Amino acid sequence: MKRFTLLTMATQSIVKNKMRTVLTMLGIVIGVAAVILMVAIGNGAQSQIQAQISSLGTNLLVVTAGAAQGAVSQGAGTFNRLTVADAVAIKREATTLAAVSPVIVTRSQVIGGGGNWRTQINGVTTDYLTIRNWAVTGGNWFDDSDVEAKRAVVVLGSTVAKNLFPDQDPVGARIQLGHTPFTVLGVLATKGQTSSGADQDDVVLVPYTTAQARLSGFAFVGQILAATYSTADLAAGQSEIAGILRDSHRLATGAPDDFTIRDQTQIATTASSTTAVMTALLATMASVSLVVGGIGIMNIMLVSVTERTREIGIRMAVGARGSDVLTQFLIESVVMSVLGGVVGLAVGVGGAALLGRLTGWATATPTSAVFLAIGFSAAVGIFFGFYPARKAAALNPIQALRYE
């Protein structure tokens, strides 16, 4: 038989049993939709993580206390040997760094405006906004004279500003950090959340010298931030910082570092790889539905072979070959699978868009997923449709004609 004739006969058989066709396709629809939805959520999460990490600053290097490898006692952040002097030395000696700032961290109750708010206080230098690629939307940033004079001035994150001054401009207002009065110089642009869910805007920035001299409570150099002139300088910047800190800490040759340096690429790679693993796991779990749908197709096709045994016998009696019968049943199986895949693709893409709108999650359906969904659907049709098709092709024409 001609291929067009076989396709026509297969299509007529599918259309003739509409309800059975719909129920057969349902498993494929659900499976493809589930896979597309999981992939869209995973890719959206990766894109969001990349955007959030980029918001930390361009060409960013983060120096924290403690070795990245080695004994347990030397884990990152467990043994603090970072000082303001380290940051000053890095700023003075490094040639690949455009900006350097220590970050002296403490938490305090902020009182002013319409109420009070407990938040994180970061003591930083004037380079901090350059490093973090941040801007001041209202008022001004403090300058070097404020740092040198240890002036009691602050710049508020947008979250703090909204909670303390919900209906007014905070610039020029007086607030209290702990027991010390401060003047608000400006408000930072909104940054949003980090990949871990922390609110970057829930912060108050002050000159690091002021944090050391005026703020009570526990204050320490939590990290040193630096920005290179370009992305190409990241490796050289890390090497320079490591050399300066080893000299500053008087570490012997061969002794492990007592600090850790990470760049933006490493942070992004770690976060993205974790998300990719979770996406693959979710997609694999969702693909089980495709297998179930394929089994459903095989069962329905086996029933169809039994119902159409006399029809198969008649076709063989008038000259149809076993390969023609095999091809016809395979076409029916593949057509149902591909149609189910197309419908499932539409449901998955639509469901991802709806989920993103209702929950605010970022979703992104890659083009590769579209072709993968259709191709996998066809593969399921061929794999699970082959046994029923082969069974139909192997029927004895005489016995088939006698079948009641």
pLDDT along the chain (404 residues), means of 10: 64 74 81 83 72 64 76 46 89 93 90 86 93 91 94 94 90 90 94 75 94 71 90 89 92 89 69 67 70 79 76 75 78 83 88 83 78 80 81 73 60
Predicted structure pTM score: 0.58
User: At a CB cut-off of 8 Å and minimum separation 6, what does 217 contact?
Assistant: 106, 107, 108, 178
CA pair distance 324, 317, nearest whole angstrom: 13
Asked if residue 37 is part of any domain, the answer here is: yes
Residues 153 and 289 in one domain: no
CA pair distance 185, 131, nearest whole angstrom: 20
Residues 19 and 90 in one domain: no
Asked if residue 265 is part of any domain, the answer here is: no
Question: What integer pLDDT is reported at residue 219 of this predicted model?
Answer: 55
Which of 248, 282, 307 lies at the terminal end of a domain, its last residue? 248
Instruction: Give the chain's end-to-end CA distance (angstroms, integer).
Output: 26
CB 61 within 8 A of CB 237: yes
Which of 248, 280, 307 lies at the terminal end of a domain, its last residue? 248
Question: What integer pLDDT is reported at residue 152 of this predicted model?
Answer: 94
Residues 11 and 42 in one domain: yes
Asked if residue 58 is part of any domain, the answer here is: no
CA pair distance 404, 395, nearest whole angstrom: 14
Question: What integer pLDDT is reported at residue 265 of this predicted model?
Answer: 65
Total residue length of the chain: 404
User: DSSP state, 256?
Assistant: P
CA pair distance 224, 201, nearest whole angstrom: 19
Asked if residue 377 is part of any domain, the answer here is: yes
User: At a CB cut-off of 8 Å and minimum separation 6, what does 115 contact?
Assistant: 163, 164
Amino acid at 324: D
Asked if residue 244 is part of any domain, the answer here is: yes
18: containing domain: 3-52+270-402
CA pair distance 200, 187, nearest whole angstrom: 13
Question: What integer pLDDT is reported at residue 116 of this predicted model?
Answer: 87
Residues 112 and 41 in one domain: no
C-alpha dist (Å) from residue 385 to 8, 294, 363, 397: 18, 8, 34, 21
CB 215 within 8 A of CB 154: no
Asked if residue 70 is part of any domain, the answer here is: no
Residues 347 and 298 in one domain: yes
Distance of CA 321 to the CA centre of its chain: 54
Strand partners, 60: 227
| Token duo for residue 164 | 């303390």
Which of 199, 218, 248 lies at the terminal end of a domain, its last residue? 248
Residues 344 and 396 in one domain: yes
Nearest to 332 by CA among 2, 3, 9, 10: 10
* Helices 322-359, 264-307: crossing angle, 10 deg rounding: 140
Distance of CA 372 to the CA centre of its chain: 21
Supply the Cα-derived Rg of the chain in whole angstroms: 33
C-alpha dist (Å) from residue 271 to 45, 77, 84: 10, 19, 30
User: At a CB cut-off of 8 Å and minimum separation 6, what does 71 contact?
Assistant: none
Residues 222 and 110 in one domain: yes
Residues 388 and 331 in one domain: yes
β-pairing, 220-228 with 97-112?
antiparallel
Residues 191 and 280 in one domain: no
Q: 3-state DSSP call for residue 318? A: coil
Distance of CA 110 to the CA centre of its chain: 34
Asked if residue 64 is part of any domain, the answer here is: no
Question: What integer pLDDT is reported at residue 99 of this predicted model?
Answer: 94
Residues 40 and 125 in one domain: no
Number of domains in the chain: 2
| Token duo for residue 99 | 């900006």
CA pair distance 236, 256, nearest whole angstrom: 19
Give 26: exposed, middle or buried? Use CB within 10 Å, 0-12, 13-18, 19+.
middle
Question: What integer pLDDT is reported at residue 240 of this predicted model?
Answer: 94
Residues 163 and 105 in one domain: yes
Question: What integer pLDDT is reported at residue 305 of this predicted model?
Answer: 76
Asked if residue 136 is part of any domain, the answer here is: yes
Question: In which element (H, E) is residue 248 found?
Answer: helix 234-248
Residues 217 and 123 in one domain: yes
